[in-house]
Structure 1
Amino acid sequence: MSDLILHHFATSPFSEKIRLVLGYKQLAWKSVHIPPIMPKPDVVALSGGYRKTPLLQIGADIYCDTALICDVLEHRQPQPSLYPPQHKGMARILAQWADTSLFWAAMAYAMQPKGLADMFGNMPPEAAKAFGEDRRAMQVGMTRLRPADATAALKSYLRRLSESLESQACLVDATPGLADFAAYHPLWYVRTRTPSMAGIFDAFPSVLAWMDRMAAIGHGQHDKLASGDAVAIAAAAEPLPVAGQTFQDEHGIALGSRVTVAAESFGLETTEGELVAATRMHYTLRRTDPRAGTVHVHFPRVGYVLKAV
């Protein structure tokens, strides 16, 4: 069975989501640290253009977006499950809200002057400028919350989370699940990356106690791997077969067509390739790179746009 290779960087909130899931499932993994901003030549060699963090690599298969990565890890190690049997649909709905509405409220709240000082105070001015320009390029066309609106929204969201956590240990069930990992990571960012802004949690002790329990899960067993070595692993491997997967056609685009896939919002870079699978849950593109060889790049359906070239 091929190694799990996570391409991530330390301060990435979505990476923290997956690092904790790996720890929760006690899965061993290889850690590839990637740059937080472009250029990311090794990432692009594997993904074909998708540059958001993290990526999960298994041999010559590249999985984009943490929603899909969680499904892959659940298949790899079903227990403990991320999906409570009686609340599977609700867990996914809450996770999608957390990865979008909660995430952007938390980021806009954190990126006020005191929070920016926490993030960039010890960074050379040119590095801070480059980071800001990189993120602005990823947010083209997005409506950004103003600080006052973000603060009001985040307080409301924390109040709602607190109401759930006052009567139970986790958001949906008695044990951590998908919704917990999704809701935790943007709050982790505010608390750890912008500590001067973390006073917003003080009014919600049940949320703080839950965050402490989530943090205690840890990241499991992992070893470092060089980025170039990960690309070489892909080049030496063959993608997993997709034959026999049920084709669900919503676009009138036949398998074998040249297509692009891009996120609906934030990080709109496209990946182009041959559509080799379109199931109920995900798309798979086959592409060939001079360094990575032939790879399959996988995207979830929800949150992504499929177009014929």
Structure 2
Amino acid sequence: MSGKQKKSGKRLSRRDYELELERLQVELVRMQQWITVSGARVVVIFEGRDAAGKGGAIKRIAQYLNPRTARVVALPTPSERERGQWYFQRYIERLPTAGEIVLMDRSWYNRAGVERVMDYCTAEEHERFLHQTPIFERMLVEDGIMLVKYWFSVSDTEQEKRFRSRLEDPMRRWKLSDTDLLSITRWEAYSRAKDEMFAHTDIDESPWWTIESDDKRSSRLNTISHLLSMIPYEHVEHEPVEIPARPQAEGYDRPPRELQRHVPDHAEEVRARHA
């Protein structure tokens, strides 16, 4: 798959989006079942500008997956101890074992993006990263890990629109950090950093796949559909399951409900308020 996505100019309806999303999520569950049975190891990297839609795509991918073998990794700022390690070390600890899929909400590519632009790393550290990353990723792939890398591309006008939306939403206000706001004034610097990153790390063994993400619905469907095409999964037949009949209780009397502590019935208050 290659080439720039063609845009029709018409936004996907919510009904069509939800129907296709449900179909794709069923396939994601089937994909995970194959990963678990086959012992495959999958790493999916989600990168892009702030407010580009990475988190929303990850949420839809992980929504119905078994959390025992599907993990979302979103690492905080490195600790003092981690800053003294080899740069890739703390990411290696989060790589999947057999039968697991790891979804990385940002990854080792922090060094090529925000650390580079905000001067959180030295020029020497950045140069070393660009040299080592293709070597590191080739080692992962050579060892059998399936590595898929997505770059979410958002326009400057859409990014600012989403920032303003977060500012007014009490449930998403935490997503708006000082670094996010600075990304508006350093748009060109981020563009240059991304171009340099692609020039060094868009390799055949682990290429970058770009997701046009101004339209969130389309970008989510495009991401999931492409991810499914990248994993050579097969349908796994389940063993027949029969739900046994529940036996009759013998010699057991349930204690009176009045002896238990129950949470207040807030739902009933809401029903009464809107009756």
Using the size of structure 2 for normalisation, the TM-score is: 0.28
Q: Which has the larger radius of gyration?
A: 2
In proportion to residue count, which structure has more strand? 1
Using the size of structure 1 for normalisation, the TM-score is: 0.26
